[in-house]
Amino acid sequence: MADPVLPEPQTDWALFLDFDGTLVEIAERPDHVVVPAQLHRLLGALTGALGGAVAIVSGRHLDGLDELLGSTLPALAGLHGLERRTHDGRIHRPADRRDQLDGLREALQAFAHEHPGARVEDKGNALALHYRSDPTLERPARALVEHHCESLGESFRMQSGKQVLEVRPAGHDKGTVIEAFMAEPPFLGRTPVCLGDDVTDEDAFAAVNRLGGHAIRVGTDRPTAAGYELASVNEAYQWLTRLARQLQPQPLA
C-alpha cells in the first residue's frame, strides 16, 4: 500500500513528471487540455532548484509537449519513452516504422468511423485508440487491437491506459527512458523521484524503485508499485509548489 506521507525534499533529487493526469487534468481530447500559466513558473522554479534535473516523461509527442510548455524544460521524453530530448538538446528517435502499422491504422480508423465515441491518435511510430467518450467500447476496442498486435509480432507491444489502448515498438517505456536520463548530467548521481497517474507510469515507478528513488502515484484507483500517493492533480501541484519553495525559497510570482 502506498504511503500518504511523502518523502522529505532533498536538493539531490532528479524529478521525472508525467503530464496528463499528473500536472494537468485529463481532457476529453488531448488537444483540449488546459495548461495553467502558473505551471510554467512552477516547472521553471523546480528546474532552478534542482540544477536542471527535471524532465517531463509523457505519452505525447515531443513537439506536442513543446507546444504546450514552450521552452520551460529542455529535457523531455515523449511517446512513453520512444523519443527523448536530453538536457543539452540532443534528440533520440527510433527509425521510422509507420509503414508496419498500416494495417492496424486502417482497422482503427474503420472502428472509429463505426463508433463515434472512439478516436484514433496517429503518433507516427505509435497508434492510440481513445474511447473516453464511450467507455462501453473497451471490450471491442481491446479485441480489435489485440488481434492486430498478434500479426505485428514481438517487435510491437500494446499498452493500456485510461480509456486508451496504444500500440508502439517494444523495448521502450517510461522506465528505460528514465534510466537513460539518469546516466547523463544533470541527472547523473541524483536520487530519482517520479510522479505519474496511469498504468503506463508503472514502468517508471519500477525503474525508480530499482534506482533507489521515490515513486509517487497521483490517484488512488488501483494497485501500484509506487511507494507514495497523492490523491489528485491538485494535490500533486500543491506538493510540487511546496517542494519548490522548500528547496529554493522564493516567491512563485
Residues designated as active site: 18
Write out the E strands in the chain.
13-17, 54-57, 76-78, 83-85, 91-92, 119-122, 127-130, 156-161, 164-169, 191-196, 214-218, 228-230
Question: Cell 536520487 maps to which residue?
Answer: 191
C-alpha cell at 47: 528546474
Q: How many helices (H) and strands (E) does the chain have?
A: 7, 12
C-alpha cell at 225: 508499485
What is d(CA 18, CA 11) in angstroms, rounded to the nearest whole number? 20
- Do 141 and 111 contact (CB within 8 A), yes or no? yes
Q: Amino acid letter at 221?
A: D
Q: Please, what is the end-to-end C-alpha distance for the chain in angstroms?
A: 36
Could you give the 3-state DSSP secondary structure of residue 107? helix
**Longest Cα–Cα distance in the chain:** 55
